[in-house]
Amino acid sequence: MLVSVVVPIYNMEKFIYLTVTCLKNQICKDGQQLEFILINDGSTDRTFEILNSLGLESDSRFRIISIDNRGYGHACNLGVEMSSGDYVSIFEPDDQIDNDFYSTLMDYAEKFPEADLLRYRGLLQISGNTKKTLYSWKSEITNRLLDVLSNPHIWKSHTSVFNGMYRRNFIVDNGIKFCETPLASYQDVTFMVSLYYVKPKILIIDDVKYTYVCHEAQSVKCVSDRIQYVFQNWIEEKKWLVERGIVDFSFFNYRMVKQYQSILKKNPNLDREMIMRSVRRLLNNRCIKKFPPIVTLKERFSWYYFSLKARRFRRSPRRHSS
């Protein structure tokens, strides 16, 4: 079994040595193989220079691809396209994983060959000297195959596209891709929306082996300079659903509204009127009448209230040419 690990890299000179060391230390059992596809997405610091100084040409597991800057989504899609594994995984270069992260995933893939998506039940977060477990699911739903609706709460928590692996043929055959908007602008959220709608068979592993490292340079801390790309992500995602004849937009609406609520809460200085107008343009007309099966009564009220507020904002009037 071969797992292709795609690593989208942009200006990671502070982390890239540890990234490569972490990947080099990944163990494999008999019959298990790994390939690491490092996509240098037009870094402007010393990232590429450091990569070339690490002697990776002597390690057949590594491939370094350097491209002009196109953003996180394009780098991930390119890596998947160039991969040759039975499964594909995304690894964030500023994070950390246990040495048996991929080996354990492959062990479970052997036991559950029907699984399209394998993930760990949670992840760790390091912020300064603080370390805690995030988004941890209960053991009752682990180590058995699930479908989209058998335990819908697994779709409520952090998208964490990097906390597991995907059957490559399942992703490719269903046309699931990251939105290719510039920079790193939450493309992982719409990726998981697409995944939800193609109804994968899911396996949750009862373990935690991924560590999410918080630092000041993260894209989630720079949303104000890329909010227009978040809008574009949702426009592209809606187009993807329409092209496939999907008529139930309840989960799309839910995820989209939840993301904008989170963005506004964390970034009070953003142009609220502009954001609400964008939400209004994207909301399906039946959004406040139909809910996905994962929302609580409190969330329904919050969603309903937010949707109504968005509908107060009319589209900007068209300018007529003289």
In terms of domains, do 72 and 95 share one?
Answer: yes
In terms of domains, do 142 and 20 share one?
Answer: yes
> How far is it, in rounded angstroms, from Cα 114 to Cα 110?
9
Amino acid 272: pLDDT: 80
Ranges under pLDDT 70 in the chain: 157-159, 215-224, 284-295, 297, 299-322
> How far is it, in rounded angstroms, from Cα 322 to Cα 314?
23
Q: Single out the residue in 215, 244, 265 at which a domain terminates.
A: 215
Whole-number average pLDDT of the chain: 85
Which residues does residue 119 pair with via DSSP β-bridges, in sequence order? 164, 204
Residue 41 has which token pair? 């997405």
Report if residue 322 sits inside a domain.
Answer: no
Between the alpha carbon of residue 267 and those of residues 99, 258, 262, the distances in Å are 36, 14, 8
Q: Single out the residue in 181, 215, 249 at which a domain terminates.
A: 215
Report if residue 260 sits inside a domain.
Answer: yes
What is the domain extent for residue 8? 2-215
Report if residue 52 sits inside a domain.
Answer: yes
In terms of domains, do 233 and 170 share one?
Answer: no
| pTM recorded for the entire structure | 0.87
> How far is it, in rounded angstroms, from Cα 110 to Cα 23?
22
Q: How far, in whole angstroms, is CA 65 from its chain's centroid?
A: 21
Q: Count Cβ atoms below 10 Å from residue 138 Cβ, excluding itself.
A: 11
User: What is the radius of gyration, based on Cα positions, of the chain?
Assistant: 20
Taking only the tens place, the pLDDT of each residue in 210-256 is 998 876 654 555 566 788 898 899 999 999 999 999 988 888 888 88
Long-range CB contacts for residues 168-173, cutoff 8 Å, separation at least 24: 168/4, 168/80, 168/83, 168/85, 168/86, 168/87, 168/88, 170/116, 170/117, 170/198, 170/200, 171/80, 171/88, 172/80
321 three-class SS: coil
Number of independent structural domains in the chain: 2
Report if residue 252 sits inside a domain.
Answer: yes
Report if residue 16 sits inside a domain.
Answer: yes
